[in-house]
Structure formats: C-alpha cells, structure tokens
A and B are shown apart, each in its own frame.
Chain A
Amino acid sequence: MNMKRKSPRKKGPIFEVARRLAKNKSAMIGLAIVILLIVVAVTAPLFYSYDEQIIKQNIGNRLQSPNAENLLGTDALGRDLLGRIIYGSRISLYVGFTTVAFAFVVGGTLGALGGYFGGIVDNIIMRFMDIFLAIPGTLFAITIAAALGSNIRNLILALAISSVPGFARILRSSVITVREVEYIEASRAIGASDARIILNHVIPNALAPVIVHTTLNVATIILTIAGLSFLGLGISAPTPEWGAMLSDGRTYLKTHFYMSLFPGVAIIMTILSLNLLGDGLRDALDPRLK
C-alpha cells in the first residue's frame, strides 16, 4: 500500500514545546517585543551615528518637546531621545545577555557536576554557592564598582558572579531528578563515560527549568543595571543607558516629563516582555500540562 511512505517527520520534544508556546498569546506578545528589541538594537547604527547624534551635545537644540525632527524630543544637552533610547537597548541587552550567558555556563557547569556526582563534590560546590548567595547582588555590584571602577565590564562581572549560584542550584536540582531515571542507568550499561552521560543524556533533559530561569534572569539583570545607573553607580555618562537617562530626566520632571517617561517605558516594556516570555516558556516546558 504505502511502501514508499517516508518515515514520519521528526517531531521531537522541542517541536512540542514550540507548538505549545505558540498557543500562548501573552508569551507570543512577549516574544514579539523581545525580537523587535533585538532587531532595533542590532540595526541601530544604520539609523543613527553614535558619535554625531547620540553622544555629541547640541546645546542649541536642548529640551525640545517631541516633534517631527526629534520624535521623542531631546534631552538637556540637545541629544535625540529616541536615538538614545535605541542605543540604550544595545547596552541593556548586551549587559543582560552577556551576564546571563556567563552565569549560565559557569553556574550550569558547577550545578551539573554537583548534581551528577553528588557527595563531596556536590557539598564543596554548593557550600561555595551558599556563600555567594549570602551576598546581595546589587550590593556586590556596588562594591565592585566602588573598588574597581564602574565600567561595563566590571558590572557584568559583578552581576554574573552573583547570578551564578541561582543557575547552579536550579540545574543541580533538575540534574538530580534526571540522574535517577532509568535511561541514565541504561547509558551506563552500554558503557558510556560520565562526560558523555552528562552532556548527552542528563543536561538536555535537565535544561527546561534553566531556560525559564535564564529568560527571567535577563530581565532582572537589565533592571538591576538600570537601577544602578539611576543611582549613578552603573554605566556613566555619556553612554546612553536607560536608568541613567531616567535619572537625568528627574531634574526636569515638572517641565519636561517625557525625558523620564520614555526611558521608563522602554525599561518596563523590556522587562514585561521577557517576563511574559519566561512565564510562557515555563508553562510550555511543564510536562504535566501536556
């Protein structure tokens, strides 16, 4: 009858997750905004010259209300707000994603090793994580900024270090769950090495909760950066940073409220979209909702 029938198309678990995510409206809105943000951030240099329009002061054009020339108006130094917000997204996303990538790799590795091997390895790693967990992230970042100077690299380092324990804990707990499943024993029975078992069998099956944490953590980091910059401890002028711009606008809040409003809206949109996406992922990855 159907001798020629090809084997069915691959429909792996990832496909399933994507399908369930696509059904979730708020998650898709979140995803759309995140993608839009990334596209805008990446293409920003096509529309604005960083040196000429974003950094360079133009006092004659200061404190303009939104108009055809400057869609969102200009700031106290005559710079275009829209351009600065767009360039600000580059900073926020860059810091957010690099920090989380670092924390993901380091924390994930430590958590996976601790969870898989257990015993003394686990104990040593997790006690160190507990020590880091006892230091508040923001405080740690302030300390680092104060000690080593507040530039982007130091901020990323400080925030990444304080994010590591979270990743380690989450991956560790899901690795412990997966480690006990029979297919791991089956892999050992066919002679697979520990490295192979961890990379091929344990991690792919233990990653779901970490993916959710990653998304939500990017949002947290962006918020922390904005908060620090608002206080003047994060990224310093003239770099366009949302938190710093929000702070700059404070002085003119009564007369030129939009100077604070627009960066604030940018922060809210970013955090909200990442959180929506994270929540959607959590639901999509939960096997109980299948």
Chain B
Amino acid sequence: MTNPLIEVKNLKKYFSTSSGMLHAVDDISFSIDKGKTLGMVGESGCGKSTTGRALLRLLEPTGGEIYFEGQDLAHLNKKEMRKMRKELQIIFQDPFASLNPRKTVSQTILEPMVIHNMYASNKERQEKVLEIMEIVGLAERLVNVYPHELDGGRRQRIGIARALALEPKFIVCDEPVSALDVSIQAQILNLLKELQDRMGLTYLFITHDLSVVNHFSDDIAVMYLGKIVEISSADDMFLKPMHPYTQALLSAIPVPDIHYKSERILLKGEITSPIEPPKACRFANRCAYAMDVCTKNEPKLVQLEPGHWVACFLHSDEIEE
C-alpha cells in the first residue's frame, strides 16, 4: 500500500425515503493501488453498486472524501468533475440498458472522444474507434451496426470500448458479467484482465459472484448493508475468512467435485433494514455467533493481520464510536 491511485475515506451515501434515511453506503474506507483490482462483493442491496456510483459522483456522496491521485473528487465542482471523468470510467452491468439504442457502435465509441475533444480531427478519431474496436474484439464490419442487432457479449464489448475511448486510469466494473451467459462471462473477464495488463488499468470490480472475484482481484472487500465487514488480499480472504458473513458467503461457492462434502452455512433471519439502522452490528440478527455486545455496539473495522481488516466482535473488542 505505497501509492494508492484511489483512496476512499469515510464515504457515505444516504437516500431520504418517506420512512427515514436509507444508509446505502455508510462510512466506508478503502484504497486501491495503481494497476490493481479491488473486488467488492456482497448480496443484492448491500450498497456495492452505490459505492461505485458515488465514487464516480454519478450519485452525489452524502459525505466523505475520494482521493484520485491525491485530488479530492468529492469536492470538485461540476465542471472540474466533467473534465476529471476522462480518467474515471464505468462498465455497466446490463449491456442492453447501457447502450443508446439509436446510436451505432461507432457513434457510441466516438462520443466520449468528441466530448473531451481528443485528437486533432474527426478522421483521426474514426481511426481510433476502429483501433479500440479491434482491442476489445469487435469486428470492423460491426462499425455501423445498432446495438439491438448484437448479442449480450458483443454489446458488453461496446460498453468496454466506450469506457476505453477516453484512455482512463481507473474503471469501475459494476457486475460487468452477471447479465451474460456463462460461456461469454469468461471471454469478457479475460478481456478485462488483458486490458489491465496492457494499459495498467486499475479496477474496482463489483460483483456478487465470489468465484469470479477470486480469479480477478488482488484484494477483496466484503460489504454487508452499507458497511465493509472484511477486507484483505484475495488469497487471505479465501484461506482465512474471519467474519461470519464472509464464511457463509464462501461456503456458498459451488465446488465442482462430486465427493466434496460442503459444509454450507445457511443464513437465517431477515436482513436488518438499512433505513435508520441502529448502532449495532448489522449482521447480528443473522449471525450464528451473535453475542450480547453485537446488538448493543457497532464493531470497528480493525487490522488483525497485515492487510487483513475485519469488523467483528469475535475478533476484536473495538467499538465504532
């Protein structure tokens, strides 16, 4: 952790609802080194996508700081942020919703370059479009095709090409493969990996699929109801998961071995409401090891081993104030 490209400090995103403030992302901090991937896992509604969007200020954060190369994104004005978007891109989950149906492939890839006035002439930009299409594995003949004529995998490649058009340093991958067929998932993942090696990209990789994140990430952060409950290197996370929630998640990964007897940890109970959550461990009412203290105080994310942080009273008594 010498020179993080992205450093998030106490990021918060609340939504106001009729029954109170919904704490979608509640005071989380993490950092990603240049050229690395942080995998962010958690179940639906835990705030992982919101984190990605708040990070890029597609949603305005309620609080906290986001440092990109030392500059705080959270406090840039609208105009400065628009310029900054060149460096920070996002790949969306649903390749059917994330492409304008009235724009051809080349129009979609061209637009970011036009907005940021890249390259001297339109001709140069057109050439660049073809170059990017080749990089992401789109045949040149598809240049004037509309998205509805293409399958999910190709559409996702267009989405990736659009993000790459700006030559960003950091990309939020918001479940980029979960809407795709399994056979295509691997292709897209390999493409993303290849692009990272080639261009030195830094990823925040959001997913609910742990088997995907294992192959892809250097570090993993596990989110539960707007909080990071555990964060460590990917290897550590799989070898020594410490938080009961992480253990339950990991036990749910299917193992392709007929003789393997899995000890599946089944979570019981309902998810705590994210609206005005009480000061307690948010996982307590589903946790098999819940103690008295868990319902009375909120555990603090503490470093138990080098690079391995956990927020659980089983491992530390420290209380989040």
Contact = CB atoms under 8 A, between A and B. Distances in A.
Interface string A1-40: 0000111101111000000000000000000000000000
Interface residues of A, number: 25
B102 A205 contact: yes
Interface range, B side: 35 or more
Contacts of A181: 97
Contacts of A185: 53, 58, 92, 98
Interface stretch (A101-109, A133-141, A187-195): A187-195
B86 A182 contact: no
A201 interface: yes
B100 A201 contact: yes
Interface string B97-139: 1111110100000011001100000000000000000000000
A238 interface: no
A196 interface: yes
Given A7-B143, A8-B144, A13-B148, A189 B97 contact: no
B270 interface: no
Interface in B160-214: 162-163, 165-166
A7 B82 contact: no
A190 B111 CA distance: 8
Contacts of A11: 146, 149
Interface string A187-223: 1111111001000110011000000000000000000
A57 B211 CA distance: 90
B116 A191 contact: yes
A276 B90 CA distance: 45
B92 A13 contact: no
A189 B56 CA distance: 8
A191 B86 contact: yes
A183 interface: yes
Given A7-B144, A13-B146, A191 B100 contact: no
Nearest to B105: A7
Given A11-B149, A13-B146, A191-B116, A186 B98 contact: yes
A10 B144 contact: yes
Given A189-B90, A191-B112, A205-B101, A7 B146 contact: no
B145 interface: yes
A5 B90 contact: no
Contact of A186 (B86, B92, B102, B143): B92
Given A8-B141, A185-B58, A190 B146 contact: no
B108 to A, nearest CB: 9
Interface of B: 53, 56, 58, 82-83, 85-86, 88-90, 92-94, 97-102, 104, 111-112, 115-116, 140-146, 148-149, 159, 162-163, 165-166
Interface of A: 5-8, 10-13, 181-183, 185-193, 196, 200-201, 204-205
11 contacts: A7-B142, A8-B149, A11-B146, A12-B104, A13-B102, A182-B98, A185-B58, A187-B111, A191-B85, A191-B112, A192-B111
